[in-house]
Structure formats: C-alpha cells, structure tokens
C-alpha cells in the first residue's frame, strides 16, 4: 500500500501505524495502560501543535517481571526531524537519560517504528536494572537532555486525528487495511545504559541540525545562568565601592579595616568578573580555554550568591564536559 491510513502517506502517519502494529496501544483518549502492555502512544499533542510538539510514547519501567515502582512509567517524546535533508525521528526521555534519532525510509516506511521499538525495548530493561541496583540520575544529567522542536505534519493529518479523537475512536487498526508487514528490521543493537545516547538530534531548540548547533543548544541555558551570576557580581562590586565612599564620608580614615577589606574585595571581584566576561566569550564560541573554567567557577565564588551559585557551576561544568560539547570545542 502507498498510504499508512486514510489518505496519509507522511512519516508521522506511518509512525502512528507502525507503533500500533508493533503492539503499542493508542491512549490518546486517556485510557490507562494495561499491566502487561508494551506501552502506549499519545497523539493529542499532534492535533494541538500540528506535530511540532511530537507525540508521547509511555513505556512501563519494567525489566522482565521486575518493575521499578518509583519511576513507574517513562515518557518518550518523539519528534519528526530534518536530519541533513532527510526526514527522520528524534526521541528523547529525560527521566531515563535517553536521546537518539532514527531514519525514515520512504521505501520501507513502517521500519522507523521498528527501529524505535527495538531501541527502547533494549534500553529500558537495562536502565531499570541499573535503577533497581541503586543507580540515580543527577539533576545535571536530566538537564543535559536538550529540548527539541519538531517538524510539522500536514494540517489535514492533524485535523483528521482531532476528528477521530472527538468521535472517541483510537488508532487501533480499524482505519487501515492490509499493508506492509510489521517485522523487526535488521538493525545493529544500540547499547543501553545510564548514559544518554548521542545522536543527530533533529533541530534542538529550532537550530540547524549539526554538531555545533547541538553544542550551542546545550550551552545556552548555562551561559544565561553564568551571565546572571556575573551581573550579581557587578552588583557586589558596586556595593563594595559604595561602602568605601560612605565610610570615608562618615568616618574618614578612622575605619581602616572596613576600608581595606572593601577595597580588596572590590579589586579581587573586579579582576574575577573581568576574567569571567572573557571566559563567557570563549564558552559562547565553544573554544576550549582556561578562562572558560573561570567563568564556570565564578557563581560558586562570589559571596552574594555562592550557595545558589554552586548548582549553577555544577550544571555548567557538566554541560561543558558533555560528549556533544567536548567534540565540538576540541575541534574548534
């Protein structure tokens, strides 16, 4: 057949059909997942954003007969993505530190669902075993999975799905006849584990699909947080300068300790802030330079916000040392 269902032959339509044929339930109408099901897909976002917000795939946190009840269900976000001129799918799940992309082959359109099913079916049990053995994801690891803006589907597909949902009709096979068989494609095994997979991520945050754009998307949040910390440092320096002026006006040179400590803080913080400013330029340019580490450490050093700055420093350092950023900055 040349269409996935109805009159639709586009990638997201084939993905919906493929997921259904591989055994995932359509839970777009709010149905609960049966205990022994592979998982379920939710296509409601497709109707609200014309596919840009992707669709959700809910998979039980299960490894064989064992289930991680604290995690319960992992929500995978699947986006249509432009992968260097070819359409494909980007999949992310911050809860289990998963990030990967998959091709779409128009000559074998249902295989994309097979690739995704195979990868997730191998990854989730291994991740659950790791969690059951005491593994914990850090906040920085969760934040290290970048957000993605998907490519749109056709307006007619989004409208058609909305109509089916308004009629309380899930996508369960009643809409299509006999089509290509949903067999497991012969793909190499994707190694699972607690480390996020690095891949071609479509268009993270709407940027172009290339390693440099991915690295810039990863560092955008930390750079903004470091800039805010630098602003607070400037405020602290201004307060020290004001303290020197007020002390001189009110007491002259009768308070040498206050004057000396304020002057030393002003000089030290000003020098550190200047180094941080240049370090941020290196971070924005993805250049591996010692001053970039000065900028990363700065929030944890300034007295005005050092307690709140420690998580910012940890987050920024984690992103700066991530594989996606390291590859780009070492080649710059």
In this predicted model, what pLDDT tens digit does every residue of 271-317 receive, in sequence order? 888 999 999 998 988 888 899 999 999 888 876 556 778 888 888 88
Residue 240: both structure tokens together: 């020290």
Please give the average per-residue pLDDT across 225-237, as a whole number. 87
Per-residue CA distances from 285 to 75, 144, 274 (Å): 34, 19, 17
H helices of the chain, in order, are 11-21, 44-49, 111-132, 139-143, 155-166, 211-251, 256-284, 290-301, 306-320, 323-330
Q: Name the nearest CA neighbour of 225 among 145, 162, 280.
A: 280
Q: Categorize the per-residue pLDDT at 187 as very low, low, confident or very high, splitting at 50, 70 and 90.
A: very low
Three-state DSSP class for residue 101: strand
From the number of C-beta atoms within 10 Å of its C-beta (0-12, 13-18, 19+), residue 220 rates as middle
Residue-level pLDDT at 176: 60
- Check pLDDT > 70 for residue 211: no
User: Quick check: 149 and 77 in contact, CB under 8 A?
Assistant: no
Separate counts of helices (H) and strands (E) for the chain: 10, 8
What's the chain's average pLDDT? 80
Residue-level pLDDT at 202: 37
Residue 131: both structure tokens together: 């969690």
What is the C-alpha R_g of the chain?
Answer: 26
Q: Categorize the per-residue pLDDT at 198 as very low, low, confident or very high, splitting at 50, 70 and 90.
A: very low
- Check pLDDT > 70 for residue 206: no
Per-residue CA distances from 300 to 121, 220, 262 (Å): 41, 19, 20
């Amino acid at each position: 057949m040349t269409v996935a269902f109805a009159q639709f032959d586009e990638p997201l339509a084939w993905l919906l059909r493929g997921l259904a044929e591989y055994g995932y339930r359509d839970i777009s109408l709010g149905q609960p997942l049966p205990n022994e099901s592979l998982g379920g897909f939710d296509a409601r976002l497709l109707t609200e954003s014309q596919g840009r917000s992707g669709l959700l795939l809910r998979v039980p946190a299960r490894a064989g007969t064992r289930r991680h009840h604290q995690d319960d269900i992992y929500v995978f976000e699947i986006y249509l993505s432009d992968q260097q001129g070819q359409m494909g799918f980007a999949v992310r799940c911050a809860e289990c530190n998963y990030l990967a992309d998959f091709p779409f082959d128009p000559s074998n359109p249902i295989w994309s669902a097979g690739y995704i099913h195979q990868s997730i079916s191998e990854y989730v049990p291994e991740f659950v075993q790791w969690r059951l053995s005491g593994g914990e994801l850090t906040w920085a690891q969760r934040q290290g999975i970048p957000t993605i803006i998907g490519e749109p589907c056709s307006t007619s597909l989004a409208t058609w799905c909305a109509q089916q949902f308004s009629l309380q009709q899930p996508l369960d096979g009643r809409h299509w006849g006999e089509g290509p068989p949903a067999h497991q494609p012969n793909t190499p095994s994707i190694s699972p584990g607690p480390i996020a997979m690095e891949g071609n991520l479509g268009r993270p945050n709407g940027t172009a699909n290339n390693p440099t754009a991915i690295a810039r998307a990863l560092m955008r949040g930390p750079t903004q947080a470091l800039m805010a910390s630098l602003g607070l440092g400037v405020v602290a320096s201004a307060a020290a300068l004001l303290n020197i002026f007020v002390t001189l006006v009110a007491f002259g040179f009768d308070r040498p300790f206050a004057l000396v400590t304020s002057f030393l803080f002003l000089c030290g913080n000003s020098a550190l802030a200047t180094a941080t400013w240049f370090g941020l330029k290196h971070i924005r340019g993805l250049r591996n330079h010692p001053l970039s580490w000065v900028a990363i450490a700065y929030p944890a050093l300034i007295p005005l916000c050092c307690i709140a700055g420690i998580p910012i420093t940890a987050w920024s350092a984690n992103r700066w040392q991530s594989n996606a950023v390291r590859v780009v900055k070492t080649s710059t």
